[in-house]
Amino acid sequence: MKVSEPTDDVLELVDVHASDFIARYRNGDRPTVEEYANRHPELSDSIRRMFPLVASIERIKVNEQVEASGGATLAGREISQLGDYRIIREIGRGGMGVVFEAHQESLDRVVAIKVLPKQSLLDDEALKRFRREATTAAAMHHTNIVPIYGTGESDGSHYLVMQLIDGKSLDSANTTDTETSCTDVARIGEQVADAISYAHASGVIHRDIKPANILIEANGTAQVTDFGLAKNVNNDITNTRTVSGSLRYMAPERFSGVSNKAGDIYGIGITLYELLAGRPAFDATDAEHLISSITGASLKPIHAVRPDVPTDLSTIVGKAIHVDPSQRYQSAAELRDDLQRFLADEPIKARRISLWGRLVRWVRRNPKLAAAVGTSAFALIAATIVSTIAFLVTSEANQRSVDTLQASEQTVDLALQSLNGVVDVVSQTPNSADLPLGEVFEDDDLLPNVGIEPSPTSAKILERLQPIYERLSQQSPTRSDIILQSVDSSIQLARIQHSLGRTSVSMETLKSSITLLNERGKPASIPADDLQLRLARLNNELGALYATDFNRTESMQCFEVAVAAVSRLDDSNTAGQTELARAHLNLGSRPPQLRRGESLTPEQRADDLQHIQSAIQILEELKNSQSQTRTTNILYANSLLGRSRLATTPRSRHTDFRAAVSILRDQLHATPDDAVVRFELVEALADVNLRGQRSPRQFNESEGRLKDALAEIATLRASSPDNAVYLATEVHLRHKLSRIASMQSRLDDADVQLSEAIQLQTRLIQTWPTSVRHRCWRAMLYRSQSTLYRQWQKPDAANAAIAMAQADIDAIDPQFTDHPLVANTRDLIREFANTQPELRQ
């Protein structure tokens, strides 16, 4: 049977309907041939013959919109205008779309536009991913994340508008023959890790970190782009078990359906690996062998591929790409921080470093101080050799001639000068000499001066000097200056040992010097003034140590011995009078760690006040005699503060406080760069007793003082951001500010201050992980946070906070279990938890 050919009119009608069929097909609909045949029965035969052919051709066109490499194309379509944007040129393409440089006519600016090919609209998931990239990326604002300006649709084409980055992607940079330096790689990695850390904190996982998605500007700034596969953990519309992203850069666990932050860290690590290697990390080209290589831990260490990669950088990259996610960095911030340490030539957290390695790094970072220490150390070694040789020579020569004896004395002088030079250099290391440690946890107690942490190397140098002083004193038993220099050095050594947490060793150092003076003082004919002054100074130092160790009885005895020693000196001895004032101040001002919960009897108050009055009188006499110094001014201010704490009337208390602050401000005005004076001012302002405060005036006054102190500590931290005592002081200032806010029911403000305090305290623990003091203090901060959340009616948060406190106590080394600080903290945490029913559930 012969089928008649359709007329021209029929063909024209079929062509019209075919155009509609194609338009619907391209826009994502799924029209069927029978739908059109049933709708137009008079044309059904022609439709059934022609439409399948039209559909096949359209499918071919769609397939042509994907390159063999997987990159998108526009199937030959030329785009010159998209709404407000005039297309200038194509600048790149990937699996999600084609990127153009365009000119936004309304704002007269050049931008980048990513156009989603029309065939992608046939895939609902692709369109969702495209919209998710726009929403996710536009919500983030970070220096190293490409800013998103907006989205649009024109003629069926969806597009994303973003900032045009003047640079190139890492994958194109890595195709050149130029080898990327290790420093540049680390700098790129640090920027990318910082951006991803920000994204993770915003609840976004990128899931497609690779060189092609990292753009490098001309100035070296890295920009992370293409959040098309990003997973928003707060509002995720994706199936988390879907394997998506670029196969070569997927973390091993992704092939098991696990998609989390650890995958992004792996992506950064494998990107850095390829940058350093200058070639792909894996040789396999087919999917099966590539997946096997990724999951099989077959990747060589980067230093085996490129021998000049420093060990630290190789360690960082190796940790980031570890097959086991638990062995990688646990956050992008940790990876960023280690890369920053590598760039600063500091020890990284991922690898322990030897003492020698730390010394080499310290010398590179501090060349001037290293030169001074090196010169002094050389002099020390030379002096030691010379003095040893001289000792052997003069042992025989002393019997022969006076001339040889004089030569020996000259050698001793040279050695002593060298030793003293080393002591001077080492003693420049900050220590807590004027900042006795005190750990108190009541919300309204004085700040605990946790002490600046000096280098353990300083302590080792001073420890090795002591035997040399002893040898010199044996060589010249009549030389009193050698003994006195040895004592002065031991005081510096004891202060550093104490700051390093070796309090018991520090006590023994001071006791040994006291014994040395008592046994050798008279035989060496040490002048009485020098002998008594050293005994007073040693006992004042030792008494302060006993106080930090919660031993009030021993500390009081030491201070009384110091008073007795100075009483043997003439009143005109300024140094002696200063030590006497210090001893009286210590006797009258109970240390903060012993002051908590202690109610003074009238007799005790009168006795304490008498000692402080004695200190004030001595210091005023020194002032009147023009003998005041920075030290006497600080002692005078502290004496007035001590008297203000014992005052029974608000007027007297405020008068002494204002006078003390005025003295410190005047001294700071005279020596504006004096960090010690500024810190004393901080302590004075922070001497706020919140116990019993109720009126708004009292709260406002206390809050004002604490904020003033916070401003001063910010000045100190600006010049020494890693100074432990400054960090700890800010912790306690914020702790008190949080307490005031909570007492006024400003719970949001209280939470902000307390959270910042915990963050700073955590930084201290990360720097000094074995510090019992820092660990106990964070436990108490968590206790305060639990109290705040309970007041806020947030039992779950309160429960979590007290659990963190208990975890901190459990993490302390068992050898410190019975230490008064640890026992006190543990008891307070346990007591608090037991009195809160919701915390025991």
Per the annotation, where are the binding residues? 114
Contact 143, 124 (CB under 8 A): no
Structure tokens at 550: 């919660």
The rounded distance, in Å, linking the Cα atoms of 623 and 315 is 60
DSSP 424-447: HHHTTS---TTS------STTSPP
Contact 547, 539 (CB under 8 A): no
The rounded distance, in Å, linking the Cα atoms of 583 and 587 is 6
The rounded distance, in Å, linking the Cα atoms of 832 and 786 is 9
Contact 741, 779 (CB under 8 A): no
The rounded distance, in Å, linking the Cα atoms of 664 and 644 is 16
Backbone angles phi, psi at 276, to 5 degrees: -70, -40
Contact 233, 205 (CB under 8 A): yes
Single out the residue of 652, 650, 639, 654 nearest to residue 609, CA to CA.
639
Amino acid symbol at 654? H
What is the distance in angstroms between the CA of the first residue and the CA of the last residue of the chain? 88
Between strands 204-205 and 148-154, the pairing is: unpaired
Beta partners for residue 99, in sequence order: 92, 114
What are the Cα distances from residue 352, in Å, to 273, 315, 358, 787?
22, 11, 10, 38
Single out the residue of 592, 594, 589, 568 nearest to residue 580, CA to CA.
568
Backbone angles phi, psi at 76, to 5 degrees: 85, -10
Q: Characterize 735-756 residue by residue with b for buried, 16 or more Cβ atoms within 10 angstroms of its Cβ, and e for exposed.
A: bbbbbbbbbeeebeebbebbeb
Tokens 């300083």 correspond to what residue?
A: 458
Contact 775, 805 (CB under 8 A): no
Amino acid symbol at 735? H
Structure tokens at 382: 């030379």
Give ∠ CA 197-198-204 in degrees, rounded to 5.
90
Which helix (H) or strand (E) is 160 found in, with range? strand 157-163
The rounded distance, in Å, linking the Cα atoms of 566 and 449 is 27
3-state SS, 388-404, equals HHHHHHHHHHCCCCHHH
The rounded distance, in Å, linking the Cα atoms of 286 and 294 is 12
Give ∠ CA 379-384-387 in degrees, rounded to 5.
115
Tokens 């990747």 correspond to what residue?
A: 299
Tokens 């699996």 correspond to what residue?
A: 95
The rounded distance, in Å, linking the Cα atoms of 475 and 390 is 9
DSSP 170-195: HHHHTTSSPPPPHHHHHHHHHHHHHH
Contact 562, 579 (CB under 8 A): yes
The rounded distance, in Å, linking the Cα atoms of 527 and 534 is 11
Amino acid symbol at 468? I
DSSP count for the chain of H helices, then E strands: 31, 11
Binding residues for ATP: 114
Alpha helices, H only, 119-247: 124-138, 170-173, 182-201
The rounded distance, in Å, linking the Cα atoms of 750 and 741 is 5
